[in-house]
A = this chain, B = another copy of it.
């Protein structure tokens, strides 16, 4: 495998015996990520566990085959499921590459030792797998046509915290703000300073279909998020901004293509980092479509 800064693995699993899944397994899969890292690098696993800022990994829940819906209820021996593990730094990618170099025979999720059927490392092997180097990503988008709109599929429940409340809506400032914040926290190459006002003034939702879904975790907590699909259109101008702050409007206009390309880059980054709260425990699994 070539070195990469971002990598998503899809592990196809089989139930080792009959069992009942009663809660969302996001926290158990998060633990699995730390276990997989610990096998090859115990101190990195400790460091990841202790991190309080944006974590350089993401995890899914335990999901139904060929779906992003959670496994819930009774399973028979041999029933299939899958989990996704995402690494968001070259160090964590290197650890997972070593840990998964030979597919393990089994992995433990919430004290059940699931049989590992396959480990998908790229999109040919699993639709939610892939890997990328940041420099390649950036070069690709620098040369691309600036997008006029971008569509994201919110495959698992996605939500935000804003003003002390949960917000389970594809609000442009929250969606793109989450991606930008993660980029700034995890990636060494800065995006244009004016991306935040550009998102606020020139990115609008013009098509979507969304509905809320509740995830119930083992500890009794629950989280509300939305799933669905949303198309964000990049406006060429905002007349209200032109009146209220002509200097900013002028700056955004002059950088329009560059800012739109940066959003295209964030849309691709979304496949790895996810969007919104609790992407380490299965929420906010997203891809550009």
Chain A interface (Cβ within 8 Å of chain B)? 163-171, 200-202, 204-212, 224, 226, 228, 235, 238-241
Contact = CB atoms under 8 A, between A and B. Distances in A.
B206 A224 contact: yes
A211 B202 CA distance: 21
Contacts of A238: 163-165
A163 B248 CA distance: 14
17 contacts: A163-B200, A163-B201, A164-B201, A164-B238, A164-B240, A165-B235, A166-B204, A167-B204, A168-B205, A168-B206, A169-B169, A206-B212, A207-B212, A207-B224, A208-B226, A209-B210, A209-B212
A207 B214 CA distance: 9
Contact of A205 (B167, B201, B209, B239): B167
Given A164-B239, A167-B205, 16 more contacts: A163-B200, A163-B201, A165-B202, A165-B204, A165-B238, A168-B205, A168-B206, A169-B169, A169-B170, A205-B212, A206-B224, A207-B224, A208-B211, A208-B212, A210-B210, A211-B228
A202 B163 CA distance: 10
Nearest to A244: B164
A205 B224 CA distance: 10
Nearest to A229: B211
* Residue of A171, A200, A208, A241 with most chain B CB atoms under a 10 A cut-off: A208
> For the complex formed by this chain, how many copies does it contain in all?
2
A176 to B, nearest CB: 13
Among all A-B residue pairs, the 7 with the closest Cβ atoms? A164-B240, A209-B211, A164-B238, A165-B204, A207-B212, A169-B169, A208-B212
A241 B164 contact: yes
A163 B205 contact: no
Contacts of A235: 165
A154 to B, nearest CB: 13
Nearest to A212: B207
Contacts of A241: 164
Contact of A240 (B163, B200, B210, B226): B163
Nearest to A164: B240
A132 to B, nearest CB: 31
Contacts of A239: 164
A163 to B, nearest CB: 7
A156 B163 CA distance: 29
Contacts of A209: 210-212
A253 to B, nearest CB: 14
B207 A210 contact: no
